[in-house]
């Protein structure tokens, strides 16, 4: 004898049918965002995952099937919102000592990815990339080879082969991590003229001039800024309202404030402060840094202490004042990102396989856990995308 009435059975049948519908039929509402999650594909991960995020309440859920690609450890979006690019952080692409970059077309409101093409990065272990503001060039940092490359992008989103390669040279004081150059990130200036390449292996941020039409990089007169020995520059963030920049240093858990000359692209080191509480004595390495859209706060992640540090930004000097640390509700927060409004901060905890949502106090800048999270294997990069942002 059935425990359900006929109407109840019909409801359950309809519900099961809805749950099993293909990804293409899950249309995002007018407020929801897609979050692309880059991963390392050891263990259970299969590539790039997608989440649906609701800014109204900070809720988060996984959608669709993963896009299969090896070690998509960093992702970037085209400025027209129609394409996504992912590195494959490997060192054996097609039998060469190189990694690769793959372009995807974004199809449908739930952000399905359709592969366009793949190109060599002409260097091993690509770990970071960014598309210029015109959408004509993508710049990539190759960690193991210690070089930075640029690739032109066709109007159709397809990648062209590497157009320029700039090899870093040198070493620094850390005998385990700094025996040679290790380009770790590339950041394009707001005026689209300069690229800042943070190199962990040589304690320098190198400065290049970008020609997006030609798809090339060249050296500048300003050339570089030298950071304290053993710092290990990893990621770099620009202040959106003032001519200051912030370099997150992985090896000694510090962040450096620099002034920036918008004419030459040159940088000057102003100060370096710790990302950790004064009483912390454990092992730690930093990973990501972001500046809030209002330019009043900055954030960085600590792996080991497993926290987000939040800073207040002095409105005149651009200096950082450490305000506190909050637990990331997981281990090894390799990457995090702010939603476009600056109201929420999402953290990718690599070791504990979870993406956690924090809400930011708009007065103090403090991130506060919302209780919302989702399980994703080996998450290491988060990028927001809104369906309405696609150019027609």
Per-residue pLDDT tens digits for 19-64: 333 455 444 567 899 999 999 999 999 999 999 999 999 999 999 9
Task: Write down the pTM of the prediction.
Answer: 0.93
* Residue 95 backbone phi and psi in degrees, to 5: 80, 10
Give which of 196, 185, 200 is closest to 73, Cα–Cα: 185
Which distant-in-sequence residues (6+ apart) come within 8 Å of 289 by Cβ? Answer: 235, 236, 237, 246, 247, 248, 255, 298, 299, 300, 301
Which element (helix H / strand E) includes 8? helix 6-19
Nearest-angstrom CA–CA distance, 345 and 312 = 16
pLDDT on residue 4: 40
In this predicted model, what pLDDT tens digit does every residue of 317-342 receive, in sequence order? Answer: 999 999 999 999 999 999 999 999 99
Nearest-angstrom CA–CA distance, 389 and 164 = 30
| Mean pLDDT, residues 118-135 | 99
| Mean pLDDT, residues 98-102 | 99
Give which of 125, 124, 107 is closest to 115, Cα–Cα: 107
pLDDT on residue 15: 35
Q: The sheet that has 233-238: what strands, in order across it?
A: 233-238, 244-249, 254-260, 267-274
Do 163 and 216 contact (CB within 8 A), yes or no?
yes
Three-class SS state of 19: helix
Within a 10 A sphere around the Cβ of 261, how many other Cβ atoms?
13
Please give the share of the chain, as a percent, with pLDDT higher than 90. Answer: 90
Pick the CATH number of 28-389 from 1.10.760.10, 1.20.1260.10, 3.40.50.620, 2.130.10.10: 2.130.10.10
């Amino acid at each position: 004898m059935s425990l359900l009435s006929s109407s109840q059975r019909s409801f359950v049948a309809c519900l099961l049918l809805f749950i099993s519908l293909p990804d293409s039929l899950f249309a995002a509402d007018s407020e929801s965002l897609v979050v692309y999650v880059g991963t390392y594909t050891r263990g259970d991960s299969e590539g790039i995952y997608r989440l649906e995020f609701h800014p109204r309440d900070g809720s988060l859920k996984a959608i669709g099937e993963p896009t299969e690609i090896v070690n998509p450890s960093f992702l970037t979006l085209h400025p027209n919102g129609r394409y996504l690019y992912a590195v494959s952080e490997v060192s054996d692409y097609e039998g060469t000592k190189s990694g690769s970059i793959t372009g995807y077309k974004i199809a449908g409101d739930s952000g399905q990815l359709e592969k366009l093409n793949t190109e060599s990065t002409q260097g091993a272990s690509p770990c970071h990339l960014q598309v210029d503001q015109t959408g004509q060039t993508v710049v990539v940092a190759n960690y193991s080879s210690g070089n930075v490359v640029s690739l032109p992008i066709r109007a159709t989103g397809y990648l062209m082969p590497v157009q320029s390669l700039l090899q870093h040279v040198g070493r620094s004081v850390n005998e385990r991590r700094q025996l040679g150059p290790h380009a770790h990130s590339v950041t394009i200036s707001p005026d689209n003229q300069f690229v800042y390449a943070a190199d962990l292996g040589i304690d320098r941020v190198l400065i290049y001039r970008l020609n997006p039409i030609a798809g090339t990089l060249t050296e500048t007169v300003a050339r570089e800024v030298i950071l304290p020995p053993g710092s290990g520059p990893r990621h770099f963030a620009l202040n959106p309202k003032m001519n200051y920049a912030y370099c997150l240093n992985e090896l000694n858990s510090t962040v450096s404030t620099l002034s920036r000359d918008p004419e030459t692209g040159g940088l000057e080191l102003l100060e370096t402060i710790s990302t950790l509480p004064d009483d912390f004595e454990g092992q730690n390495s930093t990973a990501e840094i972001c500046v809030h859209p209002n330019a009043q706060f900055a954030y960085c992640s600590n792996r080991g202490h497993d926290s987000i540090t939040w800073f207040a930004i002095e409105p005149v000097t651009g200096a950082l004042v450490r305000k506190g640390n909050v637990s990331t509700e997981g281990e090894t927060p390799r990457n995090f990102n702010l939603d476009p409004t600056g109201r929420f901060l999402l953290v990718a905890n690599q070791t504990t396989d979870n993406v956690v949502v924090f809400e930011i106090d708009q007065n103090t800048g403090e991130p506060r856990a919302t209780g919302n999270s989702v399980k994703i294997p080996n998450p290491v990069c988060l990028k927001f995308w809104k369906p309405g942002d696609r150019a027609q």
